[in-house]
Structure 1
Amino acid sequence: MRIDIDTAVCIGAGQCALTAPEVFTQDDDGFSELVPGHEDGNGSRLVREAARACPVSAISVVEP
C-alpha cells in the first residue's frame, strides 16, 4: 500500500497518530508524518481507519 499525506491540508489534529501509532507520528510542528521504516504501512489494518479519522482528509491510502 502507498500512504500519502497532503501536508498542505494537514492541520495537526493527530487522529492518525492516535489510531495507528506504529505508522503515523507528528513532526516538531505537530503535523502528520510517517514513522521511518513504516512508509508502506507494514500491513497495518489501522492505516485505512487512520485515513478515515482525519478530520480534513489529508491522508490517502492507495492499494497496488
Structure 2
Amino acid sequence: MTDKKAADKLKGKAKEATGKLTGDRRKEAEGKADQAKAKAEGAVGATGERAKGVKDSLTDDDKR
C-alpha cells in the first residue's frame, strides 16, 4: 500500500472514530467510505502489478 493510500485509510479511521464519539452518523459513514476507497485503490494497484508480472513472465527473453 502506498503512503497516500495508507494516509487515506488512516484519515478514514480517524473520521469514523470522531463520528462515533460525537454521535455524528454522517461523519462515521464518510470515514468508512474513505477506508473502503483506499482499500479498493490498493486492490486495483495490486492487480495491475500482478498483470505486469504475468506479461513479463510470458515475454520471450530473446525479444526484450
Q: How high is the TM-score relative to the length of structure 2? A: 0.28
Structure with more of its chain in strand, by fraction: 1
Structure with more of its chain in helix, by fraction: 2
Higher relative contact order (CA 8 A, sep 6+): 1
